[in-house]
Amino acid sequence: MTVPSLTLNDDHSIPQLGFGVFQVPPDETSATVTTALEVGYRHIDTAQMYGNEKGVGDALASSGIARDELYVTTKLNNANHAADDVRRSFDESLRDLQLDHVDLFLIHWPLPTQYDGDFVSTWKAMAELTADGRAKSVGVSNFEPDHLARIIDETGVLPAVNQIEVHPGFNNEAARAANAEHGLLTEAWSPIGQGQILDDPTIVEIAQRLGRTPAQVALRWHVERGDIVFPKSMRRERMQENFAIFDFELSPDDVLAISGMDRGDAGRLGPDPKTFDRI
């Protein structure tokens, strides 16, 4: 199975499918990521706040896979938004990942009610990290349209991606549209709604008709819409299932039917970025 690559607005390319490690316990991360690499995943999405960068680094180091075949994303800790802390935090992430560069470094949350609402200075410090190639690309996560417009207006630097909550139960169309308008790709987090949307009759009907599983249909919905996904599982057979989504398609009608599962804000599984303030 070949995973397509998408081109970012900074001309770097990113595999459209990766493997997420949120809530993978630190002492099980190395073994879990090793299994994901064996299955074929080459794009890993972690974060300093997940506490498992070291396990990711151990798995990458022992895999024997060439660095240029891997795509690694990590994210800035909410506690480290001050400019000097951004640099220190990034150094710590590289050390724990045992890498000399990451492919993508993201502001994890905008925290508009913290740091005097100044995520612009944080973004400027992030953007400087591409100068020596230690971060190939930089981007943001959980940025609402007004947050995005503000950093772009005030710095002129476009994020490569905005990683936001998107799944059939929460289409998050306004944020996706803002991303597209600025020319940046959407990364859809919790792409299978943490497993909670998989028994929805719309998805089950399509899955049965196509001879696929509900998780494959949900992931393929994102792919048809051009978004990047990195489902998480600690089980090899589910990792394999989630990886096997590039040998079938959904019709436009099926894509629309799944989009119709949107429950607006009621469908959110994670916090609202406008008010989330945990440091």
Which lies closer to ligand NAD via its Cβ, residue 107 or residue 125? 107
Q: How far is the CB of 29 from ligand NAD (least distance, A)?
A: 11
Q: How far is the CB of 65 from ligand NAD (least distance, A)?
A: 19
Which lies closer to ligand NAD via its Cβ, residue 129 or residue 219? 219
Q: Count of CB atoms within 10 A of residue 31's CB?
A: 14
Tell which residue, 200, 175, 168, has the closest CA to residue 269: 168
Q: What is the rounded distance in angstroms from the CA atom of residue 148 to the CA atom of residue 274?
A: 12
Q: How far is the CB of 188 from ligand NAD (least distance, A)?
A: 8
Which lies closer to ligand NAD via its Cβ, residue 133 or residue 211? 211
Q: Which residues bind ligand NAD (CB under 6 A)?
A: 20-22, 45, 108, 141-142, 163, 189-195, 198, 215, 230-233, 238, 241-242, 270
Which lies closer to ligand NAD via its Cβ, residue 46 or residue 130? 46
* Alpha-carbon distances, residue 30 vs 50, 102, 205, 212 (angstroms): 13, 18, 37, 30
Q: How far is the CB of 238 from ligand NAD (least distance, A)?
A: 4
What are the tokens at 167?
Answer: 């799944």
Return the ∠ at Cα 266 (arms to 81 and 179), rounded to 5°: 50
Catalytic residues: 50
Which lies closer to ligand NAD via its Cβ, residue 123 or residue 189? 189
Q: How far is the CB of 88 from ligand NAD (least distance, A)?
A: 21
State the sign of the Cα–Cα–Cα–Cα dihedral 24, 26, 28, 30: positive
Q: How far is the CB of 164 from ligand NAD (least distance, A)?
A: 8
**What's phi and psi for 136, nearest 5 deg?**
-70, -40
Which lies closer to ligand NAD via its Cβ, residue 42 or residue 84? 42
Tell which residue, 62, 21, 22, 72, has the closest CA to residue 42: 72
In three-state secondary structure terms, 207 is helix
Q: Encode 1-23: b = buried (16+ Cβ within 10 Å), e = exposed.
A: eebeeeebeeebebbbbbbbbee
Residue closest to ligand NAD (Cβ): 20
Total number of residues shown for the chain: 279
Q: What is the rounded distance in angstroms from the CA atom of residue 32 to the CA atom of residue 22?
A: 12
